[in-house]
Amino acid sequence: MKVTIDKKVATVLIHRPEKRNALSPEVLLEIERSFNALSERDDVNVIILTGGERYFSAGFDLNFIRTLEKVSNEEFTALFHRAYRAIMFCSQPVICAVGGAAIAGGFDLTLMCDIRYASERAKFGQREITLTLTPILDPLWRIIGLGRALEVALTGRIYDAYEAERMGYVSKVFPEGTLLESVSEIARTMASYNKECLKEIKELGHSILNYDLDGALKVQEWLFRTYIGSEDNHKRVDDLVESLKKP
């Protein structure tokens, strides 16, 4: 695992290329620790999770999975769910940059992120059903709808990047070799925004489905009122007005 920080953007790189970034217990523990640590940092506004331009993650390390028994799987199951939660519930928005195959456990990592971008060489699939394992349907159904989520989970199909984009799972597909540069540019722009406002929007995205429509509108009104008229709001409005005056 490699973590770098530049201009308020942290990049977390899964680096196990000899195993196509397969998720061993050690890798999962590093993911958990990295995201928990980054969540506490004041100098990080946005996080990118990636496996580089060639890989993302081929899923759980099957050699390790084969050693597990029903009576001895609790520790590992708890570990990978802690890693998932560390990504999903960290303070900052997390952008996933998928350069290659994101399969099974690797797919689940992309599922925990707030935004997903892909290289045209990326592939996605919840392959758990092919190994007699149950997949994660929530939050998948929140992203692409229940019917499509059940198709993904029950068929075990592999989807290319453009099909994932059409179903709404991926926001944009970039040409091979340009993914990290393109996503870093997006992340730097996001990181220039107010850190607390970014955090509030992420938390709103997690909670909005728990409200009825009236409750959701009230929460959003309250949040809007906490920011409009603030010092940072005034400064950004002034900057925008000045920029519009320029020829």
Tokens of 116: 């997903």
pLDDT tens for each residue of 189-223: 999 999 999 999 999 999 998 999 999 999 999 99
Cα 217 from Cα 17, distance rounded (Å)? 46
pLDDT tens for each residue of 51-109: 999 999 998 888 877 777 776 678 888 999 999 999 999 999 999 999 999 999 999 99
pLDDT at 149 over 90: yes
What does each C-alpha distance from 75 to 34, 65, 79, 90, 108 come to in angstroms?
Answer: 19, 12, 6, 22, 18
Average pLDDT in the 146-165 region? 98
Domains contained in the chain, number:
2
pLDDT at 113 over 90: yes
Q: Give the percent of the chain with pLDDT over 70.
A: 99
pLDDT tens for each residue of 31-51: 999 999 999 999 999 999 999
Q: pTM, whole model, 2 decimals?
A: 0.95
Tokens of 114: 């707030």
As beta bridge partners, residue 107 has: none
Whether residue 211 sits in one domain with residue 100 = no
Nearest CA-CA partner of 97 in 23, 20, 171, 198: 171
pLDDT given at position 71: 66
pLDDT at 17 over 90: no
Q: Which of 15-29, 118-132, 162-176, 222-236 has the lowest mean pLDDT?
A: 15-29
Range of the domain at 235: 195-245
Q: Which residues contact 4 (CB under 8 A, 6 or more apart)?
A: 10, 11, 13
Whether residue 206 sits in one domain with residue 99 = no
| 3-class DSSP string for 138-207 | CCHHHHHCHHHHHHHHHHCCCEEHHHHHHCCCCCEEECCCCHHHHHHHHHHHHHCCCHHHHHHHHHHHHH
Cα 183 from Cα 181, distance rounded (Å)? 6
Whether residue 216 sits in one domain with residue 104 = no
Whether residue 207 sits in one domain with residue 128 = no
pLDDT given at position 143: 96
What does each C-alpha distance from 194 to 48, 76, 102, 158, 231 come to in angstroms?
Answer: 18, 37, 31, 38, 11
Q: How many C-beta atoms lie closer than 10 Å to residue 163's C-beta?
A: 15
Whether residue 146 sits in one domain with residue 200 = no
pLDDT given at position 76: 82
pLDDT given at position 63: 81
pLDDT given at position 203: 96
Whether residue 7 sits in one domain with residue 106 = yes
Cα 12 from Cα 242, distance rounded (Å)? 37
For residues 64 and 122, the model is more confident at 122
Q: Torsions phi, psi of 4, nearest 5?
A: -125, 150
Whether residue 213 sits in one domain with residue 118 = no
Whether residue 59 sits in one domain with residue 171 = yes
Whether residue 210 sits in one domain with residue 155 = no
Whether residue 218 sits in one domain with residue 156 = no
Whether residue 200 sits in one domain with residue 187 = no
CATH number at residue 55: 3.90.226.10
pLDDT given at position 187: 98
Tokens of 219: 């929460």
Whether residue 15 sits in one domain with residue 130 = yes
pLDDT given at position 75: 85
